[in-house]
């Protein structure tokens, strides 16, 4: 029964009819039984709505939440969490698939270790046809006791595919973050804020299959990625790296962190800024010229 659910799976989707059925089938096949699925249909114009409604009609664990228009991935991801009320929460991309034991092994880890706030699955990459592209090491297993070490480890991996965001998290920890923003890189900021709350654990065995098809986020152009997060804002200059640095700084300064840890994080951010100063300078120069810098 939905009322007994311990974990909510949020599936944000916009025009994802091609793979949505495969994603939902893999989620409904989970060996851990006490879950509910919220499909966040972000004003899709393809067959997504019909697929979502069909699954919701035949399985009481599935709910279809439809918006009348696309408000961007950031708001859609965040709203799915706000609609949840379970002890644990997980996002699942609408074009990826999950091993049947993903929830089971992650929840077992969270139940055994109260100091772990995120248990995420080992990932394998697949193409649009489901063919294996190889394993992917996220390097975000964070067993450190101190929040500064975990925080700095996250920002050092900020160029990764950010697969850990698709793990199972304690809702109480997620609730103390700012969730997703309507800008590129807000998933890394969310992980950094979570790392301040507790440990991350990567579970053994491939449990999540990340699909890198031609329309996947990784393969989008920079303007497409910006519209993916916020279709209502068509700004030519983004100041992406300055925004991310500011969000990291905000997380360090506004959280209730011991002074010693805060000092280590500020020193780490300062080193990162100096090491990457050319990127920040280039954004200022490109803005002055009125052109879009060649970012990934």
Helix (H), strand (E), coil (C) string for 74-103:
HHHHHHHHHCCCCCEEEECCCCCEECCCHH
Task: Report the mean per-residue pLDDT for the chain.
Answer: 91
Distance CA 115, CA 39 (A): 29
Report the distance separating Cα 262 and Cα 57, nearest Å.
Answer: 50
Q: What is the enclosing helix (H) or strand (E) of 139? A: none
Give the tens place of pLDDT for each residue, 15-52. 999 999 999 999 999 999 999 999 999 999 999 999 99
Q: How far apart are CA 146 and CA 37, in angstroms?
A: 34
Query: Three-state DSSP class for 256?
Result: coil
Kindly tell me the sign of the dihedral angle through the C-alpha atoms of 238, 93, 106, 114. Answer: positive
Q: Three-class SS of residue 183?
A: coil
Query: For 273-291, what is each residue's pLDDT tens digit?
Result: 999 889 888 888 877 776 5
* pLDDT at 106 > cutoff 90: yes
CA distance linking residue 285 with residue 255, whole number of Å: 33
55 versus 257: the higher-pLDDT residue is 55
**Domains of the chain (ranges plus CATH)?**
2-219 (3.90.550.10), 237-289 (no CATH)
Please check the confidence at residue 53 and state whether its pLDDT lies above 90: yes
Q: Based on DSSP, count helices (H) and strands (E) in the chain, helices before strands.
A: 11, 9
Q: Would you tell me the crossing angle of helices 222-229 and 73-82 to the nearest 10 degrees? A: 30
Is pLDDT above 80 for 14?
yes
């Amino acid at each position: 029964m939905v009322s007994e659910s311990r974990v909510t799976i949020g599936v944000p989707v916009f025009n994802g009819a091609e793979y949505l059925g495969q994603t939902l089938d893999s989620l409904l096949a989970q060996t851990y039984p006490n879950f509910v699925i919220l499909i966040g249909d972000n004003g899709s114009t393809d067959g997504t709505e019909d697929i979502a409604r069909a699954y919701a009609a035949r399985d009481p664990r599935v709910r279809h939440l439809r918006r009348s228009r696309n408000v961007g991935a950031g708001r859609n991801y965040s709203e799915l969490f706000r609609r949840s009320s379970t002890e644990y929460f997980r996002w699942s991309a609408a074009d990826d698939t999950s091993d049947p034991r993903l929830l089971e092994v992650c929840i077992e880890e969270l139940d055994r270790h109260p100091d772990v706030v995120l248990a995420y699955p080992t990932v394998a990459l697949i193409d649009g046809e489901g063919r294996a592209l190889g394993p992917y090491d996220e390097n975000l297993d964070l067993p450190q006791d101190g929040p500064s070490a975990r925080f700095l480890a996250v920002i050092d991996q900020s160029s990764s595919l950010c697969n850990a965001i698709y793990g199972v998290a304690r809702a109480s920890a997620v609730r103390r973050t700012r969730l997703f923003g309507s800008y590129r890189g807000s998933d890394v900021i969310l992980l950094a804020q979570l790392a301040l709350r507790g440990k991350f654990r990567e579970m053994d065995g491939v449990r999540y299959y990340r699909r890198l098809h031609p329309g996947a986020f990784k393969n989008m152009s920079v303007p497409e990625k910006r519209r993916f997060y916020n279709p209502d804002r068509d700004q030519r200059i983004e100041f992406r790296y300055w925004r991310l640095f500011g969000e990291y700084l905000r997380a360090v300064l506004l959280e209730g962190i011991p002074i010693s840890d805060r000092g280590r994080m500020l020193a780490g951010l300062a080193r990162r800024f100096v090491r990457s100063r050319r990127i920040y300078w280039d954004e200022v120069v490109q803005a002055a010229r009125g052109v879009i810098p060649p970012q990934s």
